[in-house]
Amino acid sequence: MMNSSSTLITTTQDNGILQLGITRPDKLNALTIAMYDALTAGLEMAAQDDSIRVVLLQGTDNCFTSGNDLADFTKNPPEDENSPVFRFLKAISQFKKPLVAKVSGPAVGIGTTMLLHCDLVYADETAKFRLPFVNLGLCPEAASSYLLPKLVGHLRASELLLLGEAIDAVRAAEMGLVTRIFPHAELTEKVFTKLLQLTQLPPRSVQLTKALLKQNQSRQVAGVMSEEGALFIEQLAQPEAQEALQAFLTGRQPDFSKFP
């Protein structure tokens, strides 16, 4: 077994499974640029290590991730496709081995969009999913403007992305965002049963099947992700986003009435 931790991302490797844990519970596992770098490094390492058959993304017992740490985000905004957040999204979207997510509690923003690139998503009854990009004066990322309508339909995707309201695990499962729901007390055990099942299958066959499942959308995802990223960076500099972010950081309600 190998264990390590770096910038609040824990890494555990055992029995062909690499666990990448988002472990910043005092901040609801909010992601900083250093944490994105660590997640990307973990995925890149897993891609090169033949002993790793499957990767598990997880948060802590009561939270997956609340998304970007907005204080860190405003101090270190993404500037181009080489920014840590976009490097992570590229890595997760192009990862060739099985990628499994275990979700408890909030999965906000990128905490939900990264799940669109996972092959299996298991949640418990505490899981809550929210995409508040518009609420923050921003736009979707991670190719979610393409993948989400494809997965749940245009109208449901519009509701999730335009209104930014939270949905529970049952609703997420009905939409197809979640593979299966397990009771909170059983989630870890049930997920590791699935992980071990994957490690015992022929690896080339598993990876080939994943590639075939994604082959018709890989180029589209890359293109949409690039377009979204450019618009996201552009929108981040606009007064709408500045108002939303400052309101969040100062604990007040944003006022968008002055914008046309």
- At 68-123, the pLDDT tens digits run 999 999 899 999 999 999 999 999 999 999 999 999 999 999 999 999 999 999 99
Specify if 32 maps to a domain: yes
- At 26-42, the pLDDT tens digits run 999 999 999 999 999 99
**Percent of the chain residues past pLDDT 90, beyond the cut:** 94
The Cα 125–Cα 133 span in angstroms is 24
Tokens describing residue 99: 């990628």
Specify if 213 maps to a domain: no
Q: What are phi and psi of 232, to 5 degrees?
A: -60, -45
The Cα 258–Cα 238 span in angstroms is 13
Rg of the chain in Å (alpha carbons): 18
**Percent of the chain residues past pLDDT 70, beyond the cut:** 97
pTM for this model (two decimals): 0.95
Specify if 168 maps to a domain: yes
Specify burial of residue 235 (Cβ count, 10 A radius: 0-12, 13-18, 19+).
middle
From the CB of residue 8, how many other CB atoms can be counted at a distance below 10 Å?
19
Banded pLDDT at 260 (limits 50, 70, 90): confident
Contact 239, 259 (CB under 8 A): yes
pLDDT at 6: 56
pLDDT over 90 at 228, yes or no: yes
Domain span at 175: 2-183
Report the domain count for the chain.
1
Specify if 27 maps to a domain: yes
Specify if 200 maps to a domain: no
Q: Are strands 54-58 and 9-14 parallel, antiparallel or unpaired?
A: unpaired
3-class secondary structure per residue, the chain: CEEEEECCEEEEEECCEEEEEECCHHHCCCECHHHHHHHHHHHHHHHHCCCCCEEEEECECCECECCECHHHHHHCCCCCCCCHHHHHHHHHHCCCCCEEEEECCEEECHHHHHHHHCCEEEECCCCEEECCCHHHCCCCCCCHHHHHHHHHCHHHHHHHHHHCCCEEHHHHHHHCCCCEECCHHHHHHHHHHHHHHHHCCCHHHHHHHHHHHHCCCHHHHHHHHHHHHHHHHHHHCCHHHHHHHHHHHHCCCCCCCCCC
Specify if 70 maps to a domain: yes
CATH number at 56 reads: 3.90.226.10
Specify if 81 maps to a domain: yes
Beta partners for residue 123, in sequence order: 103, 181
Beta partners for residue 207, in sequence order: none
Length of the chain: 260
Segment 152-156 shows an average pLDDT of 98
Specify if 95 maps to a domain: yes
- The region of weakest confidence among 3-12, 71-80, 138-147 is 3-12
Tokens describing residue 165: 């309201």
